[in-house]
Chains A and B, each alone.
Chain A
């Protein structure tokens, strides 16, 4: 018995096994909703029998066998699924005949493929972004509907409905349950990467003292990103994404002051960056770079993050390289926000005039209208040029635009500093 509290021990097993379980079942029954129900039934069976019998030696196999038997029962009753019955019974027979390491070895590749298949189904193009994220957390993260609702500050019935609708969409469209290959893989991987990235950002955007569930999202995203990179090692962007997330996560302890105020990257105490995560991130970036082809958007962003991570002090930052990387990013993933960041890098690398020139070019960009970082970045360049009054006005405008109360305080403080005199920093 692995723990004194059987229920919590079973929940822990569930967290570990549920994704593989749902993935294996979904491949069999071709319906993630049904697969999830079958997996839940197996969990209920475990909650009934394990407290008496103890957790079995291979709890994953126990849960899978239980769920498959239940699937066979269902199919025996449902004429609709008759054709599948024989195939399924044969498969269960084969699996039960194998045992231990032999079984594990036989299933290892297949399980990996099933998990990867589940990731692609959860992030299917038929689903909205929000639905992809919710389904990924539910089926791959094993989070409850209530936990997802708390994480995204949304009412529980909203999430429940979102999940039901997503599963129905997938079933109605008879979405094939497999890992896409070749060109299709290239076309669909970004949606999977994006879902993981969104989970991370949701957690990362939370500030200290908030609900524990939101920081836990970062860990979940890291876990999913690492799994993806292990399952799709030939995809540079899988390594690029996890590199980016590991390096961003390494700054978690430094990015908020004790009073909860955000600390800007260049002002952070780098001694508080987590060297373990930085090392992991740099290693993942190296793997992305070692693969053929240029880095994709996540890989380039990771390379930028790596420049910061490698600098022991803010003053040692290789801004020329960062500016070049933003240039590369503007090629592979052009967007006004990237241009904005490029302007920051240009300011740092070649002086505020270079940054301002680009800022003036993108100032009329509709996508940036109302975006607080545009005046904020402009304010910074102006302050460096000693144009304090103009800088203060930009910071005030940025403060008006931001929705984040703490960021507003920070911007207003900078405006006041500019009022006091030229910022030579």
Chain B
């Protein structure tokens, strides 16, 4: 099974760039995941202010560039790992050297998780 671990840092955009110590600590954690043989990929993201939002409303598309005034929970990065259970993924997430942040652990859909009609639609695509 695969799990996505989304990191939601509790920091403002002004403090977005991590310090050398933060990077070193995170590097050790990433290395631990890698050596455990279950790190599939990971990335850190630039702050949302440098990004954009593409919003659909009744089929209408609106594009808004950052920064966003109302942004509360924003993704700072993610890890994609292989784990044998949700509990194992949660245990790995809880070993992250985070200070003030939330990590959301979400299982990745696999084809087997879908009913036959959805699978058939995927086949057609």
Residues of A at the B interface (CB closer than 8 Å) are: 2-3, 5, 8-9, 11-13, 15-16, 104, 112, 208, 216, 219, 222-227, 230-231, 253, 258, 269, 271, 276, 280
Contacts and interface: CB of A to CB of B under 8 A. Distances in A.
B87 A223 contact: no
Contacts of A223: 36-38, 82
Contacts of B88: 12, 15-16
A16 B37 contact: no
A216 B84 CA distance: 8
A3 B35 contact: no
A244 to B, nearest CB: 15
**Which 5 A-B pairs rank lowest in CB-CB distance, beginning with the nearest?**
A226-B37, A12-B87, A223-B37, A12-B88, A227-B37
B35 A112 contact: yes
A2 B37 contact: no
Given A223-B82, A258-B119, A2 B90 contact: yes
A5 B86 CA distance: 11
B94 A2 contact: yes
B41 A230 contact: no
B87 A3 contact: yes
B101 interface: no
B111 A253 contact: yes
Nearest to A280: B40
A5 B111 contact: no
Interface in B69-125: 80, 82, 84-85, 87-88, 90-94, 111-112, 116, 119-120, 123, 125
Interface in B10-64: 28, 34-38, 40-41
B91 A16 contact: yes
Contact of A230 (B35, B40, B85, B112): B35
A104 B40 CA distance: 23
A219 to B, nearest CB: 6
28 contacts: A2-B87, A2-B91, A2-B94, A3-B87, A5-B87, A11-B85, A11-B87, A12-B88, A12-B90, A15-B88, A16-B91, A104-B28, A112-B35, A219-B1, A219-B84, A223-B36, A225-B37, A226-B37, A227-B35, A230-B34, A231-B35, A258-B116, A258-B119, A258-B120, A269-B123, A271-B125, A276-B40, A276-B80
A15 B85 CA distance: 10
Contacts of B116: 258
A100 to B, nearest CB: 11
A15 B84 contact: yes
A383 to B, nearest CB: 27
A2 B86 CA distance: 11
Contacts of B112: 208
Q: How large is the interface on B (under 10, 10 to 19, 20 to 34, 35 or more residues)?
A: 20 to 34
B60 to A, nearest CB: 30
B84 A222 contact: no
Contacts of A225: 37
A225 B93 CA distance: 23
A7 to B, nearest CB: 9
Contacts of B38: 223, 226
Nearest to B82: A219
Q: Which residue of A8, A16, A231, A269 has the most chain B CB atoms within 10 A of its CB atom?
A: A16
Contacts of A12: 85, 87-88, 90-91
A301 B98 CA distance: 41
B35 A13 contact: no
A219 B87 CA distance: 17
Given A12-B85, A258-B120, 9 more contacts: A2-B87, A3-B90, A9-B87, A15-B84, A16-B92, A208-B112, A225-B37, A258-B119, A276-B41
A8 B38 CA distance: 19
Contacts of A8: 85, 87
Contacts of A16: 36, 88, 91-92
Q: Which residue of A12, A13, A230 has the most chain B CB atoms within 10 A of its CB atom?
A: A12
A219 B119 CA distance: 22
Given A219-B82, A258-B120, A13 B37 contact: no
A354 to B, nearest CB: 36
A274 to B, nearest CB: 10
A104 B39 CA distance: 20
A13 B91 contact: yes
Contacts of A276: 40-41, 80
Contacts of A253: 111
Given A8-B87, A12-B85, A12-B87, A222 B37 contact: yes
A154 B92 CA distance: 32
Nearest to B40: A276
Contacts of A226: 34, 37-38
